Structure 1
Amino acid sequence: MLILLPPSEGKATPSRGSALALDKLSSPWLTAARRQVIDALVELCAADPAAAAAALEIGSTQLDLVDLNARAHESPTARADRIYTGVLYDALDSGSLSPAARRRAATRVAITSSVFGLVRLTDKIPAYRLSGNSTLPGLGGVAAHWRAHLGPAVLDALGRGLLVDLRSTAYAAFWKPTPDLARRTATVRVLHEHQGQRKIVSHFNKATKGRLVRALLEDGANPGTPAALATALRDLGWHVESTPEKSGTRLDVVVGEL
């Protein structure tokens, strides 16, 4: 099973740690594509911070994020699960997982990143600010860049297992499962039900996804099909509705409260 997560906009900035070593990251065949993004980002942010802030939609009070990007090659790094913060990662709380669940997380969870393409929770990366819908001079759209490079890395990470896609729309555009993967692809969305109406609410969506992943890792379930995943989630206490689609199976997790 491969669980694909989106990154968080907010990130922790390590105060110490080794500098980025691209050759030590997982999915090493992405090294050249990663270097292209980083070099374009560093050049943009180092040359003209004000222009970079405008291009990356960074507010004038957050120019420290531009400087952070400019120093991507030498900034301290930390494990990805300590860099990414926010509602989903707070709910996942990987640092408090049991030893067995932590081992499962290392092999079953991957994060789609605008800078690194795909990272594992144990990969050591610096903090950065680059959204999935950004465009970089000399590189073009970040999403289009990764669409050209990401497929082999995801397929290698997936192997023969089930793909559990929890990515947000912007990061789902980096790579889309091919039709031959439909029978083992589950796309999960979270619906908040209130007074008989259902809708996607960002906070509920992110928090519930984090809890789902945590529950699966702690339980140890390793379903091989969308139907088996739906059963596993129901056994863990979630209300799950399944809808077959051409690209796979959509699993709607319906919640009433956090």
Structure 2
Amino acid sequence: MIVLLPPSETKHAGGDGQPLSLDSLGSPELTELRATLVDELIALAADRDASRRALALSAAQDGEIERNATLRTAPTAPAIRRYTGVLYEALDVDSLRGAAAGRAAARLAVGSALFGLLRANDPVPAYRLSATSKLPGQPGLAKRWRPALEPVLADIAAAELVVDLRSGSYEALAKIPGAVRVDVVAEHTDGRRVSVSHFNKAHKGRLARALASTRSEPDDAASVAATARRAGMRVERDGLRLTIVVPA
């Protein structure tokens, strides 16, 4: 089973790994496009105004542009520890120990606008590029990634279950046949339900933690739902789609 996480805009700075080596990342089929995008971001960083427009940044966020300028020389960290935010706080991968930590390293992956697909321990620098970014003179990232990334994800999905927790803009980079998808809804006392927006990340982070660390080997939507329920979550299943129900 692979649990595919969305990335986050915010990322931990620094790291103690060697500078970026694209050849060290998983899914070498993606290396060519990764290298192209890295080079484009480095070149773009020389023009702050253009970087702000392309990356939807304010002047107060110029540090993000500086990160992009040093993509090939900055220290790296494992992908699963690079990203920050609500989902990654709920996942809390650093608190896993022993066999649970090993299972998490094998099962967790991250969708990335810059690298396409990252396994948990792939070493990457901090960067700024979102799925909705459009680099000057280039097509949108979904159009660029789909031909390269969809075959890679299809091969993975043919071999093992994929639980796809990505947000809509990252789903658009590549579809995954047969993946389990997850929604989060809040239920009022009168039975009305509304979609959860920001805090769905926390619930997906808790689900990711349960799936990453479980001793069982979920291999279909029903066993994913069962794992979530054992972790104390209320989950409903409709085919390949799971709904986490939380109090409003």
- TM-score normalised by length of structure 2: 0.93
1:243 matched residue in structure 2: 238
1:254 matched residue in structure 2: 245
Measured in 1, the distance between the counterparts of 2:245 and 2:126 equals 33
Measured in 1, the distance between the counterparts of 2:230 and 2:125 equals 38
2:222 matched residue in structure 1: 227
Measured after TM superposition, the shift of residue 119 of structure 1 is 0.2
2:184 matched residue in structure 1: 190
Measured after TM superposition, the shift of residue 101 of structure 1 is 1.6
Greater shift after overlay, 161-170 or 197-206?
Answer: 197-206
AA matched with 1:60:
A
Query: Contact 1:94 / 1:102 at 8 angstroms: preserved in 2?
Result: yes
1:85 matched residue in structure 2: 84
Measured in 2, the distance between the counterparts of 1:106 and 1:37 equals 26
Calculate percent identity across the aligned residue pairs.
Answer: 47
2:131 matched residue in structure 1: 132
Measured after TM superposition, the shift of residue 67 of structure 1 is 1.4
AA matched with 1:253:
I
Measured after TM superposition, the shift of residue 17 of structure 1 is 3.5
Measured in 1, the distance between the counterparts of 2:2 and 2:154 equals 10
Measured after TM superposition, the shift of residue 153 of structure 1 is 2.3
| Coordinate RMSD, CA, aligned | 1.7
Query: Contact 1:37 / 1:139 at 8 angstroms: preserved in 2?
Result: no
1:6 matched residue in structure 2: 6
**Taking structure 1 as reference, are residues 232 and 82 closer, same or farther at Cα in structure 2, changes over 3 Å only?**
closer
AA matched with 2:14:
P
Gaps of 5+ in 2: none
Measured in 2, the distance between the counterparts of 1:64 and 1:148 equals 32
**Taking structure 1 as reference, are residues 83 and 224 closer, same or farther at Cα in structure 2, changes over 3 Å only?**
same
Greater shift after overlay, 225-234 or 162-171?
Answer: 225-234
1:105 matched residue in structure 2: 104
1:67 matched residue in structure 2: 66
Measured after TM superposition, the shift of residue 33 of structure 1 is 1.1
Measured after TM superposition, the shift of residue 217 of structure 1 is 2.4
Measured after TM superposition, the shift of residue 36 of structure 1 is 1.1
Gaps of 5+ in 1: none
AA matched with 1:242:
R
Q: Do residues 43 (structure 1) and 38 (structure 2) align?
A: no
Measured after TM superposition, the shift of residue 54 of structure 1 is 1.6
Measured after TM superposition, the shift of residue 214 of structure 1 is 0.9
Query: Contact 1:163 / 1:186 at 8 angstroms: preserved in 2?
Result: yes
- 1:191-212 CA-to-partner distances (Å, cap 9, x unmatched) read 1223433223233211111111
AA matched with 1:170:
S
Greater shift after overlay, 193-202 or 128-137?
Answer: 193-202
1:150 matched residue in structure 2: 149
Query: Contact 2:41 / 2:68 at 8 angstroms: preserved in 1?
Result: yes
Query: Contact 2:71 / 2:125 at 8 angstroms: preserved in 1?
Result: yes
- TM-score normalised by length of structure 1: 0.90
Measured in 2, the distance between the counterparts of 1:25 and 1:209 equals 25
Query: Contact 2:110 / 2:120 at 8 angstroms: preserved in 1?
Result: yes
1:204 matched residue in structure 2: 199
Measured after TM superposition, the shift of residue 170 of structure 1 is 0.5
Q: Secondary structure at the match of 2:43?
A: helix
